[in-house]
Amino acid sequence: MKIGRSLYRRSGRSQLELISLSPGQTQNLGAHLGRLAQAGDILLLVGSLGTGKTCLAQGIARGLNIKDYVLSPSFVIVRELYGRLPLYHIDLYRLDRIEEIMDLGLDEYLYGSGVSVVEWADKGLSVLPAEHLLIEISYLSLNERSFRFKSNGKRYRQILAELRQLSIKKVRSSCS
Ligand SMILES: Nc1ncnc2c1ncn2[C@@H]1O[C@H](COP(=O)(O)OP(=O)(O)OP(=O)(O)O)[C@@H](O)[C@H]1O
Ligand SMILES: [Mg+2]
């Protein structure tokens, strides 16, 4: 894991970019986030098809001591998994209208006592909690991805500060 250009705002350290060089590093980054996570945390994932959102979510599950992470059928929008804390893995990919997202009744998850991880969060930003950690993932090359973290709220500035301490070992593993 390379520490990318750190993007500081003049008002404070609210952004950070990390570069992952392999699916295994992305999972380890996720596992680190999973270990840092607290009840009520909201992690919003944004990035185009195949950039590594699910790969990161698998790592988060691992970091929460969720043993039985298995890929679900593609029509499942919300999955509840139980480890150190509940993980609510939400995937908005198949939803196009904001009304459809509102109809899901996500608030019981988002304002509940688990950790919510939302893939394709850009589809629902206007109805998702304003305080969150935004994670923008971009494809750089076959095995390289940029993770740009933006904190919105005090709790998420704290997570960013903890992420800055991160040094991730190189491992070989795959996400699929
Ligand atoms: N550094 C990396 N981090 C994460 N994934 C990587 C990396 N390098 C290559 N990959 C590959 O990219 C793919 C990422 O797939 P993944 O399902 O996590 O993407 P996604 O963003 O969830 O896609 P979708 O939009 O379809 O939900 C996997 O095949 C993985 O092996
Ligand atoms: Mg996915």
**Tens-place pLDDT, residues 142-171:** 999 999 999 999 999 999 999 887 754 444
Instruction: Please give the Cα distance from 92 to 100 (Å, whole number).
Output: 10
pLDDT of res. 116: 97
Mean model confidence pLDDT for the chain: 88
Query: Residue 91 pairs with which residues in a beta bridge?
Result: 119
Supply the pTM of this predicted model: 0.92
pLDDT in tens, 105-135: 999 999 999 999 999 999 999 999 999 999 9
| CATH classification for the domain delimited by 2-67+77-163, as one of 1.10.357.10, 3.40.720.10, 3.40.50.300, 3.40.50.1220 | 3.40.50.300
Q: What are phi and psi of 33, to 5 degrees?
A: -60, -40
- Atom of ligand 1 lying closest to residue 58 CA: 18
pLDDT of res. 10: 43
Closest CA to 147 of 168, 126, 125: 168
Is residue 119 within 6 Å of ligand 1 at its C-beta?
A: yes
pLDDT in tens, 45-99: 999 999 999 999 999 999 999 987 766 656 789 999 999 999 999 999 999 899 9
How far away, in angstroms, is 175 Cα from ligand 1 center? 7
